[in-house]
Structure 1
Amino acid sequence: MSVSVGILYSSQRLIKLICDNLMTTNEILEQFTKIYVARTPYVLDLCRTCRWVEISPTGFLQVTNRGLEILEAQSITEKLRIQIKHYIYTLKPTWSKVLHYGRKEALHHFPQEIIQCFKEAELLGDYSLDNSIILWWDIVGAFSRSGVEEKKNSVGRRGELLSLQYEEKRLGVPPTWKSFESNFVGFDILSKVSKDDDSNLSIEVKATVSTTDNISFFITNNEWNTASLTKNYLFHIWSLAASSVLYILTPEIIELSIPSNKGNGKWESVKIEYKKNELESYKAKEGI
């Protein structure tokens, strides 16, 4: 079942109509050829498939909790975002399986009508001006991954946002958040070496909320290959337990814990663990 901007708006009208009037399916089909811009049978089918409306035991159509969530949204943009999320959760369209690739990467796999839906819902806008865009992409991205915990993903995002703030404060200009747009570049943030050196600096961000004396994180083979081949590359390791503490490590330090490929074996990811006191000398200076 395909969807378009017009059909989403038409669905909003139908949900409101059913909320305000006691009507059966046949009554709606007989009285309305179209709901707003879309044919009534299709709009009704979408609303029932996405479980925005249902038939009550008495035979009348009624709005579900999902439908009420749309009606109670404070803006048109929010309504559309909720609808798109419900559509993804319910129908699991093929294009939704790439949502966790990152925004820019995912768009390459979207049909044109879906891109238009995302544009209308302002999900392709400037995330620095609207944090809700980040939250929406993270929620549906976690769902499309099917197995990656949303909590784990949100901890990682917290670390990335803190690194973005840290770099902007250090340089006076905002860095580029690469991992929000693509998960295939091998690092999270593209910054600059210093205010006096305009050379690119690639930053991979790791974060943990562990309250133990150990800090652990995973590094993938792709991340390490990028780190080992990139001229200016750093690891930002955030401890977010009681307060936010940043440790900055170079690839040379990380390399001591990287395994080797032997025989027919090839490592895909490695867990690295340090005692906090081991990292004390790598703690970022406060006030930068």
Structure 2
Amino acid sequence: MTSLTPGLASSALDLLRLLQRNALTASELLAGLKRVGGMPSAEALSLSQTLNWLEVDSEGVLQPTPSGQRACGQSDYRLALRQVLLDYADIVAPEWLQNAINGRSRVLAFAGPGIAQILVEAEVATGTSDDVVEFWDMLASLARGYRDDRLLTIGRRGERLTIAHEKARTGASPRWVALDSNQDGYDVLSVKAADDPAPLCIEVKTSTVGVTGFMHISRKEWDHALVSANHAFHLWDLRTSSPQLAVIGVAEMAGHMPVDAGSGDWREVRVPFRTFTSLFSTVAS
């Protein structure tokens, strides 16, 4: 899809309004109207389809969806552009979206000239009025949701690898605890060995950027590790197609844990994967 620009956004909105007034199929539109609002009609149609603004009825006629009607039905151009950006962020999840978590200036710096100009024309590049703040809060919320979904997907990959590894190591089928509840303080329940059925609790941490990544250990996870008779941390490096695993015991991890002091108590700690570089080894898939 062509990069999003103010001109393309405006043309897509014009296309929606055109289709509200005229019954056209995609082929009729492209054959009879080469440009919409100064942009090629094919590009305006492509953006509208990407953002789920259009649907096709039983006769092949293009019709705006409810989200398309919401976008083109805004009371003024500024609000319409804001809706375009929110829909684009939600559907496309562009790389610049993650900057919204860190504030407006980061988005303006890294989103590129097209998006930056849309933000200017939408009158959200500056100002602190309630509607401007609401827009940035909504964009940040989308970014957090996308980040959380991405991290969950990465975490699940590591958990699946641990389950497969433990089944191969012990011959027993581990229980995927984190799938049922994330409140237990660990992710997988296995056994110590093929000839030792004692429970082994495993907390899984996964990195797709290799040992340059970090693991985050919560107070609940560490407290559970301290009271468990048998506990291990599985660190998965998924940077390459051949997963690498480091199995870390509680004693090895303890040297990197904080302690409460005075009136303060810790809730989460970040530990670099590179701390345990020498313990990683490739695991056969």
1:83 corresponds in structure 2 to 84
- Asked if structure 2 preserves the Cα contact closer than 8 Å seen for 1:55 and 1:62, the reply is yes
Partners of 2:42 and 2:146 lie apart in 1 by 36
Amino acid at match of 1:257: S
Q: Within 5 A, what are the aligned runs for 1:171-250?
A: none
Aligned partners of 2:98 and 2:147 also within 8 Å: no
- Aligned twin of 2:201: none
Query: What is the letter of the counterpart of residue 37 of structure 1?
Result: G
In the TM superposition, residue 57 of structure 1 has moved relative to its aligned partner by 1.9
| CA contact 1:8–1:80 (8 Å) conserved in 2 | yes
Q: Give per-residue Cα distances to partners, 1:227-285, cap 9 Å, x unaligned.
A: xxxxxxxxxxxxxxxxxxxxxxxxxxxx843248xxxxx835xxxxxxxxxxxxxxxxx
Q: Is the 8 A contact 2:25 2:60 kept in 1?
A: yes
**Contact 1:10–1:35 (8 Å) recurs in 2:** yes
SS of 1:146's partner is helix
- The alignment status of 1:141 with 2:143, answered yes or no, reads no
RMSD over aligned CA atoms reads 2.5
CA distance in 1, matches of 2:15, 2:65: 13
Query: Matched residue of 2:269: which SS?
Result: coil
Structure 2 counterpart of 1:144, which letter? A
Are 1:4 and 1:116, in contact at CA under 8 Å, matched by a contact in 2?
Answer: yes
Give the corresponding residue for 1:272. Answer: none
State the one-letter code of the partner of 1:136: F
Provide closer, same or farther for how the CA distance between residues 61 and 96 of structure 1 changes in structure 2, counting only shifts above 3 A.
same
Letter in 1 for 2:57: S
For 1:131 and 1:7, locate their aligned partners in 2 and report how far apart those are by CA, in whole Å. Answer: 27
State the alpha-carbon separation in 1 of the partners of residues 106 and 264 from structure 2.
29
**Separation of aligned partners in 2, 1:121 and 1:72:** 15
Q: CA deviation at 1:141?
A: 0.2
Match of 1:40 in 2: 41
Query: How far apart are the structure 1 equivalents of 2:55 and 2:11?
Result: 17
DSSP 3-state at the match of 2:11: helix
Name the counterpart of 1:30.
Answer: 31
Q: 1:105-116 to 2 correspondence within 5 Å?
A: 105-116=106-117
Amino acid at match of 1:267: V
1:65 aligns with 2:66: yes
Task: Provide closer, same or farther for how the CA distance between residues 145 and 25 of structure 1 changes in structure 2, counting only shifts above 3 A.
Answer: same
Uncovered stretches (5+) of structure 2, i.e. residues with no partner: 149-260, 271-285
CA–CA separation in structure 1 for the residues paired with 2:262 and 2:135: 38
Give the equivalent residue in structure 1 for 2:269: 267
1:98 has 2:99 as partner = yes
> By how many angstroms is 1:11 displaced?
0.7
Alpha-carbon deviations, 1:149-197, whole Å to 9, x = none? 9xxxxxxxxxxxxxxxxxxxxxxxxxxxxxxxxxxxxxxxxxxxxxxxx
SS across alignment from 1:3: coil
| CA distance in 2: counterparts of 1:63 and 1:101, whole angstroms | 34
Partner SS state of residue 74, structure 1: coil
Cα drift, residue 72 of structure 1:
2.1
Contact 1:142/1:148 (<8 A) preserved: no
Return the alpha-carbon distance in structure 2 between the equivalents of residues 56 and 113 of structure 1. Answer: 33
Note the C-alpha offset of 1:147: 7.1
Letter in 1 for 2:269: W
Unpaired segments ≥5 residues, structure 1: 150-254, 261-265, 269-288
Quick check: 1:259–1:267 contact (8 Å CA) kept in 2? no
Is the 1:100–1:106 Cα contact (8 Å) retained in structure 2? no
CA distance in 2, matches of 1:147, 1:17: 33
Judge conservation of contact 1:54–1:62 (CA < 8 Å) in 2. Answer: yes
Instruction: Report the AA paired with residue 138 of structure 2.
Output: I
Q: What is the one-letter code of the residue matched to 1:258?
A: G
Match of 1:257 in 2: 263
Change (3 A) 1:257 1:267: farther
One-letter amino acid matched to 1:36: G
Letter in 2 for 1:77: R
What letter corresponds to residue 115 of structure 1 in structure 2?
Answer: A
> Identity over aligned residues, as a percent?
24
CA contact (8 A) 2:93 2:146 kept: no
Q: What count of residue pairs does the alignment treat as equivalent? A: 159
User: Which structure would you say has the larger Rg?
Assistant: 2
Query: C-alpha displacement at 1:30, in angstroms?
Result: 0.9
Residue 18 of structure 1 is matched in structure 2 by 19
For 1:23 and 1:148, the matched residues in 2 are separated by: 39
